[in-house]
Each structure stands twice: as structure tokens, then as C-alpha cells.
Amino acid sequence: MSFCFLFPGQGAQYPGMGRDFYEHSTAVRELFQRASDAAGRDVSRLVFDGTEDELKQTDNTQIAITVTSLAAAIVMREHGLSPAACAGFSLGEYAALVESGVLALEDVFSVVLARGQIMEEVSRELDTADGPAGMSAVMGLSFEKVSEVLSSAAVEDVYPGIWNSPAQTVISGTANALTSIEAILKEAGAKRCIRLKVSGPFHSPLMSKAGARFAEVLADKTFHDPTLPVYSNVTGDKVGTGAEARTYCVQQLVSTVQWVPEQRAVVRDGFHSVAEVGPGTVLSGLWKNYTKSELESELPCRAAGSVEDIRALAQE
């Protein structure tokens, strides 16, 4: 059976994630060793024994989620479940680029380590006495309405960060800007605004310094043309070439993640069997909200975050 693999991003992490993959598969243990060699520290200890606060720091989160998601993909393949296409949510795009043949495994860990460190450093420069810069999920308003409110409000340093679902948008900003705009959004009809477990205002112009530094990191990395369909957060559609993928990796840091258009493109291209390959169930929830809102019938997103989940899929 073939699936479109959906890889989760930051916010999906939790202490102990992927331990069963590690215990189950020799190939996964080798993967963790590669990640540890790249990081110069024991990544398995970080993933399995790190605290929630440690895993929340983006320079830790990025390698932790990437190795766990790629571990899930290995176990999927070991059970005869291969990707027909790939898409990744924010950070998850790097696992998708590996699985689609764009980025080599020997490069991905150094890339996400550098990405995480750069994003953490730039984010901390944006912290103020009011608190750290970050992101907030706005519930109950359309992306268009949230964008309209942000454009018309007299609040600086806040932007649409991720178009999560038809009724949920994540905004990115400084601490004071988030507090100010959340009140305005609630007056405009938002049901709730929930601060996310991330440590910076990602996918916004506030990360422009990070984008410039990250472009230098990618300059000597090889980006191959995709060997199977892979979708971009920047355009919400398929990546055509390796050169495009490199450009999108930089643009993704400062641009709104187009997850709703990306889901539309996956369905448009006929990939109706999808699986959330990695920790958590965030993408399953977003997929359910999207299909319920825009399609005549709901299409399930299968969980593939544990060995037990994958065994169940393989038996269908």
C-alpha cells in the first residue's frame, strides 16, 4: 500500500517520542547514530530523556523531530508501506525532502542543526521585557479574516505565519504584538488564541536575518530533482526541481506556510491515502478539518507515530 507521507513540524515533540522505533529497528538505531555524529552529542538521550522545555528550544527541536520522523519512515518501509508522495509541515519539509530524494540523508542533520541554531539566535534577539517572541494559533476565523485584521490593526511586528486549516491560522510576532493583536482578533470573532510550544516568530518577515544566514548554509549543499512528488509550504504546490527546493527552504523561514493549499494539491493529485509519519497527531487533526470543510466526504489521515500504529496499517 502507498501513502502520501505527511511529516509533522515543531510543536509535535514530546519526551520519549520514537523510543519504540529505536528499540524495534537496527536501521533506526543507525539513523540515530548518524544524527548524533552530526550533532556531536547523544541525540537519542535528547529525544528520549530530554525535558519538555529542552525539546521546546528550536535548536533541539529540529534535529529531534527530524530524526524521529525519518525513523517512522524507515519503519513504514520495513512494513511494506512506501510513500507515493511527501509533504512536510514547516520543519517536517526536511524529512519530506529526504524521502523524495531531494536532500541526502548525510546532509539533512547538519542542515536542520544549522537551521535550528540560526532560528533560535535570531528569535532571542527579538525577545523583550514583555517576553519571548513566538506564535499563537487563532481559532474560529478564516485565514482571509485574520490577514485582514492584521493588515488593518495598528500593531507592528505580527504576521500570518501558518495557514493551518479553514478556521485556524497561526500568527507570528513579538510578545507585546501577540498580546495586543490577540485581543483585537477576539473582538473580531476569534473563539480562542492559543500560544504554541515554539520559541520564535517563525515563517514571518521577523526571521529575515535568519533567512540570509541560512542561505549561506545551503550554498554548498546538493539539492536533487525530486524522485516522487513533494510539496512546498511556500507555494502550496509541487516542487519542480532541486533548485526550486533550495530557494523554497530559504523563503519558508520568512513566508506564510500554505498548508491548506498544500492539502488541496495533495487531494487534487489523487493521493487520498495519507499518513502522519512522525510524532503527534497535529496533522491528522488539520487534515480532518480540511477535508470536512472542503470535500464532500472526509478522507482519513492514518497515524504512523508508533510501531503499533504502523503494524495496524500494514495489516489492512
Beta bridge mates, 82: 2
Residue 217 lies in a domain: yes
149 and 286 in a single domain? The answer is: no
72 and 182 in a single domain? The answer is: no
| Residues 220, 103: Cα–Cα separation, whole Å | 12
| Digit-coded pLDDT (tens) for 46-91 | 999 999 999 988 889 999 999 999 999 999 999 999 999 999 999 9
Q: With pLDDT > 90 as the criterion, what percentage of the chain qualifies? A: 93
pLDDT given for residue 171 in this prediction: 98
Is the pLDDT reported for residue 199 higher than 90? no
Three-state SS for 303? strand
| Residues 36, 46: Cα–Cα separation, whole Å | 10
Helix, strand counts (H, E) of the chain: 14, 9
218 and 103 in a single domain? The answer is: yes
For residue 195, which of 277, 267, 284, 132 has the smallest C-alpha distance?
132
Q: What is the CATH number of the domain that holds 170?
A: 3.30.70.250
pLDDT given for residue 214 in this prediction: 98
pTM for this one?
Answer: 0.95
138 and 120 in a single domain? The answer is: no
Q: What is the CATH number of the domain that holds 238?
A: 3.40.366.10
pLDDT given for residue 1 in this prediction: 62
What residue numbers bound the domain in which 160 lies?
134-195
| Digit-coded pLDDT (tens) for 150-188 | 999 999 999 999 999 999 999 999 999 999 999 999 999
Confidence of residue 298 (pLDDT cuts 50, 70, 90): confident
pLDDT given for residue 272 in this prediction: 84
Contact 38, 109 (CB under 8 A): yes
More confident residue, 316 or 97: 97
48 and 140 in a single domain? The answer is: no
| Residues 191, 88: Cα–Cα separation, whole Å | 27
| Residues 72, 281: Cα–Cα separation, whole Å | 14
Residue after which a domain boundary falls, among 174, 195, 216: 195
Three-state SS for 152? helix
Report the half-sphere exposure of 30 (CA within 13 A, side-chain side).
7
180 and 226 in a single domain? The answer is: no
Element (H, E) at 144: helix 143-152
138 and 170 in a single domain? The answer is: yes
Cell 534535529 belongs to residue: 63
161 and 45 in a single domain? The answer is: no
183 and 270 in a single domain? The answer is: no
Contact 120, 214 (CB under 8 A): no
| Digit-coded pLDDT (tens) for 105-150 | 999 999 999 999 999 999 999 999 999 999 999 999 999 999 999 9
212 and 185 in a single domain? The answer is: no
225 and 183 in a single domain? The answer is: no
pLDDT given for residue 308 in this prediction: 97
For residue 42, which of 53, 52, 24, 54 has the smallest C-alpha distance?
54
Contact 194, 139 (CB under 8 A): yes
pLDDT given for residue 296 in this prediction: 73
Residue after which a domain boundary falls, among 195, 214, 233: 195
Is the pLDDT reported for residue 4 higher than 70? yes
- Active-site residue list: 90, 203
Confidence of residue 316 (pLDDT cuts 50, 70, 90): confident
32 and 174 in a single domain? The answer is: no
- Give the contacts of 148 (CB within 8 A, at least 6 positions apart): none
Residue 64 lies in a domain: yes
Residue 271 lies in a domain: yes
| Residues 263, 237: Cα–Cα separation, whole Å | 9
- What's the number of domains the chain is made of? 2
Neighbours of 281 (CB within 10 A): 15
Element (H, E) at 118: helix 105-125
Residue 200 lies in a domain: no
Average pLDDT of the chain to the nearest whole number: 95
Neighbours of 276 (CB within 10 A): 29
Residue 146 lies in a domain: yes
Confidence of residue 204 (pLDDT cuts 50, 70, 90): very high
pLDDT given for residue 49 in this prediction: 95
